[in-house]
Structure 1
Amino acid sequence: MRKLKNPLSAMAGILLIMLVSVVFLSARCSSNPENASTVYADPGLKTELSKESVSALESLQKANRELTSMILPSVVTLDVVETRKVQNNIDGFPWFFFNRPQDQKDGQGEREYEAEGMGSGVIVRKTGKTYYVLTNQHVTGNAKTISVMLYNGDKVQGKLIGSDQRKDVALVSFDYDKDLRVAVLGDSNTVQVGDLTYAIGAPMGYVSTVTSGIVSAVGRSGGPNRNNINDFIQTDAAINQGNSGGPLVNIYGEVIGINNWIVSSSGGSQGLAFSIPINNLKKAIDDFITSGEIKYGWLGVQLLEINDKFRESLNLKDIEGAFAGQVFLGSPADKGGIKPGDYITEVNSTKVKSVDDILRVIADLKPGESSSFKILRKGKEISATVKIEERDEKNVADSSKLWPGFVPSPLTEEIIKQLELKKGQNGVLVTSLQAKSPAAVMSLQPGDLIVKVNGKDVKDVLSFYDELSNAKGEIWFDFIREGHNLVTPKIKR
């Protein structure tokens, strides 16, 4: 959570004072001194802990002190100024509270303003006199200036080396003549529920703050960034605005995560905090230093989250993996023999559990290197070797190469009734049709019922993918649209 300083802070401050006054007033009015009972401490009573208990607590306290003194010098506070652009909208609010200037029309132009924010970071690398700080992308934004405040109170000018929204990660560098402690990066794959954790940062501007808790869960998904490909470590260590980018540390003083976001109804810590596992970010550090950007691996498949009905139709019940619903023509997957309908279960001998899981694995594969895949096809396990390429957003967005260009959905009794099909009708329904795709070129439309592939009957989703896999050379579909039996033009695969 990046702590923002915005143009409405003064107004927010007034409202906050009013709110606090109401809270104080309510609390004061609710108390009744006449009915209240007061209990005083009895100076004659004494409580003593056993020597064993005191010794155990002293050992715990000593360990806490040693651990925090080891990691605190690696944690920095980042003051960021970035230039943002906003569209001048109707009513002119908030820039022109009542009336816009005479020469400005509705929605005309953009206005630039400087936004200040604060977050945390952790020193993860040193080269000569240059130190590198790992933090969140939402902390740095498109920074115009970055001021780095060290644990010893010194302030130095930082430089944004690289940032990435998909992983919400950024790397900042600064030069410094004195020796500073570089944090040790742990192995987040070994983190388990119940492990002790320490969160360090500058919550609400209180620099070098340490809070503690446990790992509440691992492998969480979600977060405010819908495009993120991270999973998250959940902890109940107190994390607030200003903690973003700071480290989550284990009992060995190793960084196991970078604090990222919280769930809260009040805006403050409620014991639901989430950190990006450090293993998700290790490659990013190297990529940023080498090229200023993350080099993502690209397989070239469209992975689909499939429901229970779809899973049953493919005989994949209780089997973990990721379903390749479509393949980009000419992509690494296409060249390596992966086909639409394949179910990927392993990458480089590492089992994948879900679509999110394999997205993270593929993202960290090095472009140019070959990787091995285990897939299920027609109920049999086969292997494929694929030479991974670098992800290019133009390729990812090119639906004209997405084969077949739609998602075949299984027929249900409800759909058969809605489409007024005969009872026991076989086939698959065209859904999620991609514009300019081969299916679109063949004039298919959403709602069409595919009943044959190259003259071979399609009974269900499984048989559709089987026949699609068997088809060679020219391909065409027999389909039903509004009760009419039609055939698509033939295209070369």
Structure 2
Amino acid sequence: MKRITKNVAVAACTAALSFGIFNLSCKVNKGSANVAFAETSPAAVIPQDSLAVTQAMQNTFRSISSSVLPTVVEVDVVEKKKVQVYNPFRDFFKNNPFFSTPESNEKEGDDGFREQEQSGLGSGVIVRKTGKTFYVLTNNHVAGNAYKIKIKLNDEREFDGKLVGADPRMDVALVSFESDDAKIPVAKLGDSDSMQQGDIVLALGSPLGYFASVTQGIVSATGRSGGQIGSISDFIQTDAAINQGNSGGPLVNIYGEVIGINTWIASSSGGSVGLGFSIPINNIKTAIDQFISDGKITYGWVGISLMEITDEYKEELGIDKKITGALASQLFLESPAIKGGMYPGDYIIELNGHSVKSVDQLVREIGSIPAGKTAEVTVLRGKEKKNLKIKIDGRDEKLVSDNSKLWPGFIASPLSDENRKKLKIDNDKVKGIVVAGVTEKTPAAALRLQNGDIICAVNDKKIETVEEFYRALQLEGKKEIWFDVYSEGHTISTGRYKF
């Protein structure tokens, strides 16, 4: 969910003002005949016991709002962005050979783009205080690229903000400001793992520029994944109205505890349709400490490329389709995973004693393990269960982006009837696995493998299934590996990849 730009907020306020003037001009005089006014109408008759319950709920919402709103802030930001400027005269003279000259009138670096300031706003919540320094939690897409930040408190005081740290993978950021006022409150963080469907929640922030707003709803679901922002978090889904500008604001429970940070909405119109999503606060708690101490989040890393697989793929691996987990389809050479005894094709079913339900869950949980710690990982290698101990490293983006270390560098896909049809393989004697998703600069690319190739043998040992391929791919005792490849009616051997 993108933050709202200030001019949208101004337009909203202008529209509201115009509407108010129109209402004043249509006011009816009290002296008019046959006119009944609201203050003369009888109030609804409500049973006392029912009214007591409703009043108690109303008092609860009032208490939550009055307690939490002083910790909620508006985050005003200014970013510098390059925008393309259309200049028909420059383009005409630049591209017309009759006006070309050795000397250009264009200034150095004038490539048709201009740096422009863009202001916007989002929300945040004060989560920490150290001396005179207050820390505000918000979204990366709100403050992560800002070069000017203003923090506006609930009492409308403003402070200069400073970006402490930001992380695009989780879409969180931490901003600080200084104040001598020791009475500025700090929000209490709750336990997002305890939230269940149907729990009552309130969303606070500045939607569409309407400062210090509160909306109420329930937890629609937990453990949601996906979204437009590519975050690795799972999400709390809520029908509490969340709009542009709510980004970074807190989602709180009935105890006034922050259990989520509002992040994005699913909407075809750009406005709330009751599908709002918040990052669970338990995902962020350690990030706050890391931002303050290091200015960044350091993720745990073991060197695995993971993928979800279908029931048919599980059958190819010899795994019961009811078993949940994540496939280690590729590994980084010399990574913690390989040093710990893992192989490509291992199906990870447990991490530190609890079940793995999905790839996203496993990525989050490995990322949350500090570097230097040892994780206990249970895998299925075919039908055989293996318990491995893997020492976690810190995630190094340079190493992660080095495809030359990714083994084998492609996805092994079953040679199913459907794939045979797509690849136009009529010869039933051709057995093996299909090469898919070859990655540049990997060992597979170095061996000249291409998408659609059929690997029939590994080190001259014939293979027919994905399970047999991964078993033959195991590195133990091997100094080199080569493949027999069937392509366009021919079978050839690749070069030898040496370890």
Q: Return the match for 1:487 from 483, 489, 493.
A: 493
Residue 355 of structure 2 is matched in structure 1 by: 351
Please tell me whether the aligned partners of residues 3 and 244 of structure 2 are also in contact (alpha carbons under 8 angstroms): yes
The reply to whether residue 77 of structure 1 matches residue 82 of structure 2 is no
Q: Structure 1 residues 405 and 39 mapped into 2: Cα distance closer, same or farther (>3 Å)? A: farther
**1:422-468 residue CA offsets vs partner (Å, 9 max, x unmatched):** 22532001111122222222232222211111222211111111121
Q: Distance in 1 between matches of 2:403 and 2:426?
A: 31
The reply to whether residue 457 of structure 1 matches residue 454 of structure 2 is no
Q: Distance in 1 between matches of 2:449 and 2:122?
A: 51
Q: Distance in 1 between matches of 2:127 and 2:174?
A: 9
Q: Return the match for 1:144 from 142, 147, 150.
A: 147
Q: Secondary structure at the match of 2:291?
A: helix
**1:26-60 residue CA offsets vs partner (Å, 9 max, x unmatched):** xxxxxxxxxxxx99999787642222112212221
Q: Distance in 1 between matches of 2:122 and 2:41?
A: 49
Please tell me whether the aligned partners of residues 215 and 233 of structure 1 are also in contact (alpha carbons under 8 angstroms): yes
Q: Distance in 1 between matches of 2:109 and 2:497?
A: 50
Q: Distance in 1 between matches of 2:393 and 2:89?
A: 47
Please tell me the residue identity of whatever aligns with 2:408: P
Q: Distance in 2 between matches of 1:480 and 1:44?
A: 86
Q: Secondary structure at the match of 2:474?
A: helix
Following superposition of structure 1 onto structure 2, how do residues 49-448 of structure 1 map, counting pairs within 5 Å? 49-88=46-85, 103=106, 108-178=111-181, 179-226=183-230, 228-316=231-319, 317-417=321-421, 418-423=423-428, 425-448=430-453
* Number of aligned positions between the proteins: 464
Please state how far the C-alpha of 1:160 moved relative to its aligned partner.
Answer: 0.7
Please state how far the C-alpha of 1:194 moved relative to its aligned partner.
Answer: 0.5
Q: Distance in 2 between matches of 1:341 and 1:176?
A: 55
Please tell me the residue identity of whatever aligns with 2:497: I
Please tell me the residue identity of whatever aligns with 1:478: D
Please tell me whether the aligned partners of residues 146 and 157 of structure 1 are also in contact (alpha carbons under 8 angstroms): yes
Q: Identity over the aligned pairs, expressed in percent?
A: 50
Please state how far the C-alpha of 1:307 moved relative to its aligned partner.
Answer: 2.8
Q: Distance in 1 between matches of 2:36 and 2:464?
A: 79
Q: Distance in 2 between matches of 1:448 and 1:105?
A: 49
Unaligned runs of 5+ residues in structure 2 are 23-34, 91-103
Q: Structure 1 residues 153 and 39 mapped into 2: Cα distance closer, same or farther (>3 Å)? A: closer
Please state how far the C-alpha of 1:104 moved relative to its aligned partner.
Answer: 7.9
The reply to whether residue 475 of structure 1 matches residue 481 of structure 2 is yes
Q: Distance in 1 between matches of 2:281 and 2:242?
A: 17
Q: Structure 1 residues 117 and 46 mapped into 2: Cα distance closer, same or farther (>3 Å)? A: closer
Please tell me the residue identity of whatever aligns with 2:193: N
Please tell me the residue identity of whatever aligns with 1:404: P
Q: Distance in 1 between matches of 2:39 and 2:162?
A: 59
Please state how far the C-alpha of 1:260 moved relative to its aligned partner.
Answer: 0.7
Q: Secondary structure at the match of 2:163?
A: strand
User: Normalising by the residue count of structure 1, what TM-score does the alignment of the two structures yield?
Assistant: 0.87
Please tell me whether the aligned partners of residues 189 and 279 of structure 1 are also in contact (alpha carbons under 8 angstroms): yes
Please tell me whether the aligned partners of residues 6 and 209 of structure 2 are also in contact (alpha carbons under 8 angstroms): no
Q: Distance in 1 between matches of 2:217 and 2:46?
A: 24
Q: Secondary structure at the match of 1:311?
A: helix
Please tell me whether the aligned partners of residues 144 and 163 of structure 2 are also in contact (alpha carbons under 8 angstroms): no
Please tell me whether the aligned partners of residues 318 and 382 of structure 2 are also in contact (alpha carbons under 8 angstroms): no
Q: Structure 1 residues 441 and 288 mapped into 2: Cα distance closer, same or farther (>3 Å)? A: same
Q: CA RMSD in A?
A: 2.9
**1:172-221 residue CA offsets vs partner (Å, 9 max, x unmatched):** 01111122211111111121111100000111222211110001111112
Q: Secondary structure at the match of 1:341?
A: coil
Q: Distance in 2 between matches of 1:428 and 1:323?
A: 16
Please tell me whether the aligned partners of residues 429 and 449 of structure 1 are also in contact (alpha carbons under 8 angstroms): yes
Please tell me whether the aligned partners of residues 409 and 431 of structure 1 are also in contact (alpha carbons under 8 angstroms): yes
**1:136-183 residue CA offsets vs partner (Å, 9 max, x unmatched):** 111113222211111222111111111111111110011111222111
Q: Structure 1 residues 333 and 137 mapped into 2: Cα distance closer, same or farther (>3 Å)? A: same
**1:298-343 residue CA offsets vs partner (Å, 9 max, x unmatched):** 1101112223332321233121111100000011111111110011
Q: Secondary structure at the match of 2:114?
A: strand
**1:217-246 residue CA offsets vs partner (Å, 9 max, x unmatched):** 1111222213x2111111010111211100
Q: Distance in 1 between matches of 2:86 and 2:334?
A: 44
Q: Secondary structure at the match of 1:234?
A: strand
Please tell me the residue identity of whatever aligns with 1:86: V
Unaligned runs of 5+ residues in structure 1 are 25-37, 94-100
Q: Distance in 2 between matches of 1:44 and 1:442?
A: 85
